[in-house]
Structure formats: C-alpha cells, structure tokens
Structure 1
Amino acid sequence: MTTPVKLAVIYYSSTGTIAAIAKELAQIAEKAGAEVRLLKAAELAPQAAIESNPAWAAHAAATTDVPVATPDDIEWADAVVFGSPTRFGNIAAQLKQFIDTLGGLWAQGKLANKIYSGFTSSATTHGGQESTLLALYNSVHHFGGILVTPGYTDAVKFADGNPYGTSHVDAQGVNPVDDTTRAAARVQAERVIKITAAFKAGLAAS
C-alpha cells in the first residue's frame, strides 16, 4: 500500500503575503492526498523593528499558532517547499538561518533524495523574484535534492509567467494574493505531490 506524500511547507513572512501563498499550497497539497506540515521560520528581527511596522506587528500576532520549523520536520518530509520574500534579490535572513541549521542532517545524507521547490514575493514588479528562487535552489543542489519547479507545464503558468516557482507582487498589502497567484500555487503544489509520489514509488520498487 502506498503511503501518502509527506510535505513540509516552510516559509518566512513578515506582513503576510508569503504566509497566504504557503497556506494555499498546503491546502492544495492536502486535497491532492498529502500529509502536510505548515511551518514558519523563526523570527530574528528585534521586537522594536516589528512594532515599527503595523502590518508586520499584526501578522506576527495573527500567526503565533503556526509552528516554528525544526530540522526534524525536514527529516520527516518526502518533499519540502520553501517560501521567502525577496531581500535584495536573495532569500530572507530568517529562512536562510533555518537552512543553515541543517548541517547535521546534511552531514548524515538526510537532506538528499528529497523533492524541493520554492515560492516568493516582492514589493515591486519583478523585484528580484527569479534571483531569489535561484539563490534558494543553490542550497538544494548542495543537499543532493531533486528540484521540481512548475515550469510552463500548465497554461495558467503563462499568466503569472514564473517557471521557477509561484511568485506575487504585493506592495504593503495593496495587492493581496489573487486568483492568478492561487492558480500558479495549484500547479506547483499538485506537480510537487505528483512527482514526489512517483519518486517514492520508484524507490520502493528498486
């Protein structure tokens, strides 16, 4: 009997855009039959900085119930989808710090032979979205992971236009996650689950 795909959706979000996409991905993956853990990277910013931005403070308060990701969650997962806003064309320090805690698992080979994918958002059009995902995927290569991106495998991907992963433009809550982004998230989540299931079945049969 085939066991369900175990998916960890691990994200960092300051004002909520990435969190909204993460929740969408997780819900779609569950509908596709996966067992899902929705997790956030630990906050590193000082409380004064958070409180200086009302949207940041509100989102932090609203997501206190979301579990903080640990290396154990990566070890548990068959597939991992990472999410981060762009930070000067790179991933946020909070997510990078979490990835940097995975050295022990890496040394044991426990990051290898898993499926990985990513998603992002920026405050301006383009805004470093593709370079952020490419920077994230550098770590996957070091893990020995299998990278599964959405590509242009569905017609809806020509609307959002990012083959590297789901992405969204939202300047301080002016443009909340819309149907275009949700459609892109659906394609990505379903593709990750489908490829992971096939990969697991192939490993089990070998």
Structure 2
Amino acid sequence: MPKVVVVYHSGYGHTQRMAQSVAEGAAAQVLAIDADGNLPEGGWDTLNDADAIIMGSPTYMGSVSWQFKKFADASSKPWYSQAWKDKLFAGFTNSAATNGDKMSTLNYLFTLAMQHGGIWVSQGMLPSNSKGAQRNDANYLGSYSGAMAQSPSDAGAGEMFPGDLETARNFGSRVADVASRFQR
C-alpha cells in the first residue's frame, strides 16, 4: 500500500474538512500546517517517506495562504537534495467565490511539485456540466487539474457542499490508485 500524505493549511476549517475528505479517499496521513506556517514534529520526515504528497490550501487573494507559502519556501531543503524527485503530487483548494481564482492556487501547487521534480496526478473526473447537473454533484465546479471546492463566505465548514466533499474523496482515491500503480 502506498504512503500518501495530505499536507495542507486551513484558515477557517473549510480546507481542513476538504483535506479530511481527500485523506479518507486516499487512506492517507494528514499533516496540518499550523497558523504560524509550520509543520508538526516529524512532518518533514513524513513527507520525505511518502510515495505521494497531496497539497491543499485555501485560495486567498488569488493564491495560496501565506502559511502554505512559508511551508513551500521551507521545502527548499528537500528541493536542494532532490528528496522529492519522482514522487507523485496532487493539489486541492477552496474559496468563497465560485471561481475565486482557484486555478491560480492549483497552478501554484503544480509549479511547486514540478520544481521538486514530481509527477502530477490530475482530477481524472468528468465535470457535472449537463442541464440536469445540481450543485451537490461531484466535480460540479469542473476542475481537471485538482480538486476544487466553494464555500460561501458566511457559511461554516460544516455547511460545505456534499458534492465538493465527494469530489475530494474521489480525488484522494484516484491519487492512491495511481500511487499503487507506481509502487515497485
């Protein structure tokens, strides 16, 4: 069984809830980046030992949160030694607006993975884009490059759309499936 790790920052709980759904689908370990932008004790070793790293951040002002950016900048140590080269990577995000420039955040996560010499795993799920599609359908937001969720700015984490959480679980499952194919 591949070692999959979900590393994320969440400011208000929405991205945390999404991370938990991704982890559930991937049978993954979860590493939360704290409010100061730091990993828990042993977090770097956990990432170094992972077969796949799924990164998550809320979309703030068109990109990742500053806490996630601090983590990304700190990943220069494994970058320098190429410790994460050829690992599988994937990413997810949440914002209040339906678009909210979430694609910029996914592009940031993709670029970080590519700088580490990683292999990106896409969403692998068709969008719910027919006339009969409902907001609670999986991949209603129509992302291909990673999982996206939308949470109204006045809604708590417990009010996230079930379809977005299903999308996150399916996404996690896909990453774990691809990781199992890459195991030696």
What range is the shorter-chain TM-score in? Answer: 0.7 to 0.9
1:60 is matched with: none
Q: Do residues 198 (structure 1) and 162 (structure 2) align?
A: no
Asked whether the equivalents of residues 55 and 91 of structure 2 are also in contact (C-alpha less than 8 Å), the reply is: yes
1:168 is matched with: 149
Equivalent position amino acid for 1:108 in 2: S
**Runs ≥4 in structure 1, deviation > 4 angstroms?**
66-69, 153-158
Asked whether the equivalents of residues 98 and 141 of structure 2 are also in contact (C-alpha less than 8 Å), the reply is: no
1:37 is matched with: 29
Q: Which is bigger in relative contact order (C-alpha 8 A, separation at least 6)?
A: 2
CA positional deviation for 1:186: 2.4
1:117 is matched with: 90
Q: Do residues 186 (structure 1) and 169 (structure 2) align?
A: yes
1:6 is matched with: 3
Q: Which has the higher helix share?
A: 1
Give the TM-score taking structure 2 as reference length: 0.85
CA positional deviation for 1:183: 2.0
Equivalent position amino acid for 1:199 in 2: F
Give the TM-score taking structure 1 as reference length: 0.76
CA distance in 2: counterparts of 1:28 and 1:151, whole angstroms: 14
1:71 is matched with: 44
Identity %: 28
CA distance in 2: counterparts of 1:194 and 1:154, whole angstroms: 20
RMSD, aligned CA: 2.1
CA positional deviation for 1:158: 5.0
Q: Which stretch of structure 1 is more off in the superposition, 138-147 or 176-185?
A: 176-185
Unaligned runs of 5+ in 2: 129-136
Asked whether the equivalents of residues 25 and 171 of structure 2 are also in contact (C-alpha less than 8 Å), the reply is: no
Asked whether the equivalents of residues 40 and 69 of structure 1 are also in contact (C-alpha less than 8 Å), the reply is: no
Alignment of 1:52-131 (within 5 A): 67=40, 70-131=43-104
Which has more radius of gyration?
A: 1
